[in-house]
Amino acid sequence: MQIRPPRLRAGARLGIVSPAYWPEPERLARAVGVFTDLGYEAVPADNVGQRQDKYAGPPQARADDLMAMFVNPSIDAIVCARGGYGINRVLPLLDYDVIAAHPKILVGFSDITGLLTTVAQQCGVVTFHGPMLTTFGRETLPFNIDTLLAVLSGADEIDIRSTADCPARCLAPGVASGPLWGGNLSLLIERLGTPGQVRADGAILFLEDIDEKLHAFDRMLLQLRATGCLDGIRGLVVGEMLEMHDAGDGAFGKDTDAIVMDVFGDLGIPIISHFPCGHGTCQATLPISHTVELHADPDDPRIRIPQSPVS
Q: Which residues are annotated as catalytic?
A: 110, 208, 279
* Count of C-beta atoms within a 10 Å radius of residue 5: 21
Through-space distance between the first and last CA atoms of the chain, rounded to whole angstroms: 14
Which helix (H) or strand (E) covers residue 105, if one does?
Answer: strand 105-108
Burial of 49 (0-12, 13-18, 19+ CB in 10 A): middle
CA 85 vs. chain centroid, Å, equals 15
Phi, psi of 22 (to 5 degrees): -80, 145
Sign (positive/negative) of CA torsion 110, 240, 195, 66?
positive
Query: Bridge partners of 79?
Result: 16, 107
* Nearest-angstrom CA–CA distance, 281 and 2: 31
Do 22 and 54 form a contact (C-beta atoms < 8 A)? yes
Which helix (H) or strand (E) covers residue 262, if one does?
Answer: helix 256-264
